[in-house]
Structure 1
Amino acid sequence: MKPEKLSDIKKELAGRTVQELTEICLRIAKYKKENKELLNYLLFDSDDPLLFSEKVKTFLEEDFKAMQKHYYHSTKSLRKILRIMNRYAKYTGNKQVEVEFSLWFCTNFLHYADLNTSHKPLQAIFIRQLEKISRLLPKLHEDLQFDYQGEFETLLHKADSQARWVSKSLYL
């Protein structure tokens, strides 16, 4: 069975009453945790995405603190944190929040992860986040670009000095 196009769904929803729309939203939220989280964001947190990002950071900070130092377990923990972080960033649909999350993740990575390891998957997680930041920065407003570019350069200098496998010249 093939789902209808979004334009057809939009037309159908326009003809529904408020009560029917409420029932549809609640029924959708019942079936999947992501739908419920998105609905929660849209109803309660969408007016201030940056405040929402701070709540998410506080929530994920505990996962960083509980992360084990062994490279295998820390890689799994970091992937979990990234998965949750990207899901919440997707809810906001805001590039600034994505950059905030990525910078915050990289800073915490440098603080909590074992930087002396040669474990490629662990290194790749950090490298991908740096690449993501460098892709997202040009998409921001000029003023925000300037602010975040300074933070990004500071992060790169710190990473270059702490991890021998990071080269800041690749991202500047």
Structure 2
Amino acid sequence: MKTATVKEIKTELKHCSSSELIALILRLSKFKKENKELLTYLLYESSNEDAYISGIKTEVDKLFSEINTSSYYFIKKSVRKILRIVKTYIRYSKKKETEVALLIYFCVQLNKVKPSIKYNTTLQNLYLRQVQLIKKNIATLHEDLQYDYSIELEKLNI
């Protein structure tokens, strides 16, 4: 089966009635958890971005508290999983402010992990890549937000 392009799907959806669209969306939501999460964000949480960010921060706190710190292997595995989850939530929002806020929070939490990430090259490199991404995204924001987030970035002791 050849997959249709986004343009083709868009033109086809224009010909559907609202009840057909609802049926298509509900059917789509049954296939993947990510589809359901995206629909949940779009329907319920996109109107209040601050509450969305604080909810994700709470989840990140919980995930960091559950990290097995017995070896760097388990720490790396857990940190990658947390970052993957954070990036998924960032993709739903598509707002640079949300991305910067969540990545800064992730880096702050990563710095708090004991034993320190400074003694592990992989974790240190992962941290530095996120900091570079934060700097790149800060440059695209409004000047006032750039200043605020730059101050938060300085607190990370880079």
Query: What band does the TM-score fall into relative to the shorter chain?
Result: over 0.9
Listed as ranges, the matches of 1:67-78 within 5 Å are 67-69=67-69, 70-78=71-79
What is the match of residue 126 of structure 2?
Answer: 125
Aligned partner of 2:7: which letter?
A: S
CA deviations on 1:58-100 (whole Å, 9 max, x unpaired) are: 1121110111222111111100100000000000000000100
Structure 2: stretches of 5+ with no match in the other structure: none
What is the match of residue 163 of structure 1?
Answer: none
CA distance in structure 2 between the aligned counterparts of 1:51 and 1:14, rounded to whole angstroms: 33
**Is this contact kept in 1: 2:38–2:92, CA < 8 A?**
yes
CA deviations on 1:24-43 (whole Å, 9 max, x unpaired) are: 00111100111111011111
CA deviations on 1:89-122 (whole Å, 9 max, x unpaired) are: 0000000001001110111111124226532221
User: SS of the counterpart of 1:31?
Assistant: coil
CA distance in structure 2 between the aligned counterparts of 1:31 and 1:59, rounded to whole angstroms: 24
User: SS of the counterpart of 2:155?
Assistant: helix
Give the TM-score of the pair, scaled to structure 2.
0.93
Aligned partner of 1:29: which letter?
A: S
**How much has 1:2 moved relative to structure 2?**
2.5
Aligned partner of 1:119: which letter?
A: N
What is the match of residue 102 of structure 1?
Answer: 103
Structure 1: stretches of 5+ with no match in the other structure: 158-167
Moved segments of 4+, more than 3 Å: none
Number of residue pairs aligned between Structure 1 and Structure 2: 157
What is the match of residue 34 of structure 2?
Answer: 34
Query: CA separation of 1:113/1:135 partners in 2, compared to 1, >3 Å: closer, same or farther?
Result: farther
Give the TM-score of the pair, scaled to structure 1.
0.86
CA distance in structure 1 between the aligned counterparts of 2:37 and 2:72, rounded to whole angstroms: 31
CA deviations on 1:14-55 (whole Å, 9 max, x unpaired) are: 111111101100111100111111011111111122221111
RMSD: 1.3
